[in-house]
Amino acid sequence: MRKLLALLVGLFLLSSCYADKKTTLYDFRFWSSPERTRIVIDTDQGVRFSVKQQNKQLTLNIRQAKILQDTYKKLFYTDQRLLNTHIKRNKTTYRLNFELANSYQIKSYTLKPNEKYKHHRLVIDLYDKNKAQPITAKVKKISRPNKQSITKIILIDAGHGGEDPGAIGRKHTLEKRITLSIAKKIAKKINATKGMKAVLTRKGDYHVRLSKRIRITQANKASLFVSIHADSVVSSKAKGASVYTLSKRGGSTNFARRLERSQNTVDQFGVNKHINKKDQYLNKILWDLSRKDRDIQSQKLGRKILAQLGKIGKLHKKKPQRAGFVVLKTPAIPSVLVETAFISNPEEERRLNNTKEQNKIANAIYQGILNYYK
């Protein structure tokens, strides 16, 4: 009888402990792009949730949950799709009501921790219904430019974005913010130049798939592609700018191969997986008939940009290097990836955060583009 009583008491205590075990909501993050809004919640494993959309309202129920005080403040985000947020607690269930501007296609799923994210993640995507699938989303095409007004269209690609911060400096500088700031400055200079037009692959802090950056380039009939990045290594002493062009065989040096691996991790944000070799789209455009001329012109463009960057600071490599970056696999047009400086170097990190220095870097790249056309 005593053993049975002890067993019952043990089961009761165990069930009580399980009932009291709550999923912690550690962080809320929101990202807005032209085609979707993404909600990311860092949680414990096994989060129990339900998502429902009705009458321009999205309801998210999370059961057996608790929200950290600092996290609670991050909930009230608004953009062109999320107009307002209300939160209500019913015993152990949190109900989040998001007022929507329209009706959207909703996708929800969870992701496991990885090298970049230590928590499990609950992800909710709100897609505009006419742009529901990011892989097949059609890029808005521009009309063929008037030869007398615009003859050259340059794609300026700000590396990383959204859930992909890129490299992070010792003072917590995010590469994605630096690249966007410099890219916008280059675009402004190009757009102020007669006969030239700049197009940005992203205009804000959101994620753009590497393969889609290529499609944007093609849809806009660009004549040049320039991708902006900030390098990072373990050593804090490495410094200087570099320029890379495409290599079919991969990086020409160990350093280039390491950088190539870090830049080619893509697509399901926060998931460290490389471009699928069976990707029919990329395989189709990888090496076209005009690749030889494209490679020669890419090297020429790289040299022109390096010559200008060398006037304002140290060069890490004095000649264009080669690596198999996915974003450089645009067919038939010269394409370069510019590592503006080392964000892992404290001195260069300060420089990258300085508006005047950003403008110098942007102007050097811009002058390099001009000199290439001359």
Tell me, what CATH number does 309's domain have? 3.40.630.40
Check whether residue 157 and residue 63 sit in a common domain.
Answer: no
Alpha-carbon distance of 343 to 235, in angstroms, equals 11
How confident is the model over 54-88, as pLDDT tens digits?
Answer: 989 999 999 999 988 888 888 899 999 999 999 99
Q: Is residue 293 part of a domain?
A: yes
Secondary structure letter of residue 315 according to DSSP: B
Check whether residue 224 and residue 91 sit in a common domain.
Answer: no
pLDDT, residue 144, reads 52
Q: What are the CA-CA distances from residue 346 to residues 150, 169, 341 (Å)?
A: 41, 8, 11
Check whether residue 155 and residue 126 sit in a common domain.
Answer: no
pTM check: above 0.95 = no
Strands 195-200 and 150-158: parallel
Alpha-carbon distance of 66 to 46, in angstroms, equals 14
- Is the pLDDT assigned to residue 4 strictly greater than 70? no
Report the alpha-carbon angle 352-354-359, nearest 5: 85
Report the alpha-carbon angle 242-246-250, nearest 5: 95
Check whether residue 120 and residue 158 sit in a common domain.
Answer: no
> Residue 166: is it exposed, middle or buried by C-beta count within 10 angstroms (0-12/13-18/19+)?
buried
At 225 the three-state DSSP class reads strand
Give the residue from 103, 131, 159 where a domain finishes. 131
Check whether residue 69 and residue 165 sit in a common domain.
Answer: no
Q: Is residue 242 part of a domain?
A: yes
How confident is the model over 105-146, as pLDDT tens digits?
Answer: 999 999 999 877 899 999 999 999 875 444 333 444 544 545
Mean pLDDT of the chain: 82
Q: Is residue 7 part of a domain?
A: no
Higher pLDDT, 182 or 254: 182
Which of 93-102, 153-162, 252-261, 353-362 comes out lowest in average pLDDT?
A: 252-261
Check whether residue 324 and residue 358 sit in a common domain.
Answer: yes
Q: Is residue 136 part of a domain?
A: no
- Assess contact for 373 and 152: CB atoms under 8 A: yes
- Assess contact for 344 and 231: CB atoms under 8 A: yes
How confident is the model over 240-275, as pLDDT tens digits?
Answer: 999 998 866 544 445 444 544 545 444 444 444 444
Report the alpha-carbon angle 40-94-126, nearest 5: 35
Alpha-carbon distance of 206 to 182, in angstroms, equals 16
Alpha-carbon distance of 69 to 80, in angstroms, equals 27
Check whether residue 127 and residue 242 sit in a common domain.
Answer: no
CATH number of the domain that 81 lies in?
2.60.40.3500
Check whether residue 48 and residue 87 sit in a common domain.
Answer: yes
* Residue linked to tokens 């109900």: 95
- Is the pLDDT assigned to residue 1 strictly greater than 90? no
Q: What are the CA-CA distances from residue 322 to residues 126, 167, 257 (Å)?
A: 38, 20, 9
Q: What are the CA-CA distances from residue 368 to residues 248, 266, 303, 321, 327 (Å)?
A: 25, 29, 8, 16, 20
* Residue linked to tokens 């508006």: 355
Check whether residue 117 and residue 211 sit in a common domain.
Answer: no
Check whether residue 241 and residue 367 sit in a common domain.
Answer: yes
Check whether residue 102 and residue 56 sit in a common domain.
Answer: yes
Give the residue from 102, 131, 160 where a domain finishes. 131
Q: Is residue 322 part of a domain?
A: yes
Total domains in the chain come to 2
Q: Is residue 14 part of a domain?
A: no
Q: Is residue 301 part of a domain?
A: yes
**Sheet containing strand 82-90, strands side by side:** 48-53, 57-63, 93-100, 82-90
- Domain span at residue 116 reads 21-131
pLDDT, residue 333, reads 87
Check whether residue 111 and residue 236 sit in a common domain.
Answer: no
Q: Is residue 144 part of a domain?
A: no
> Residue 316: is it exposed, middle or buried by C-beta count within 10 angstroms (0-12/13-18/19+)?
buried
pLDDT, residue 151, reads 82
